[in-house]
Structure 1
Amino acid sequence: MIAYRLLTLEDSSAFCHKVTEALSKGWTLYGSPTYAFDAEKGVMMCAQAVTKEVAGDYDPDKKLGQL
């Protein structure tokens, strides 16, 4: 099964660390990062999709960050 996650956070080094941590745990980048301005918060937001091949079937109760 291929698991999918969309990592999001404000545009900061914390976002880069979040993506780097996912990559270190075997996740693979999927597509390009996306940026959007959150007018309510007044900040730029980042998003990066990642995928990972995992054994077993889909389980909606499983936290994707634990795969």
Structure 2
Amino acid sequence: MNIQDALKEIQSWLYLNGIEGVAQGEYEGKPCITVYVSLPNTETILPTVYKGFKVVIEPTEQFAIQGGPL
């Protein structure tokens, strides 16, 4: 499985409370899954590895849409 396929599979994580976003990142020179979380302890519900890719937690503020309609 490649990283793009893994990212498609985890889009459902965005419906979990406290998860603001998921993206491809890099960890120790290899592709990883970066998960942006806005609530403390959210990482306890996530795996540390998914489909062979390290899951890296990045604390963030709650994401909001800025500007007008797309």
TM more than 0.5: no
CA radius of gyration, larger in: 1
Normalising by the residue count of structure 2, what TM-score does the alignment of the two structures yield?
A: 0.35
Higher strand share: 1
- Identify which of structures 1 and 2 has the higher relative contact order when contacts are C-alpha pairs closer than 8 Å and 6+ apart: 1
Normalising by the residue count of structure 1, what TM-score does the alignment of the two structures yield?
A: 0.36
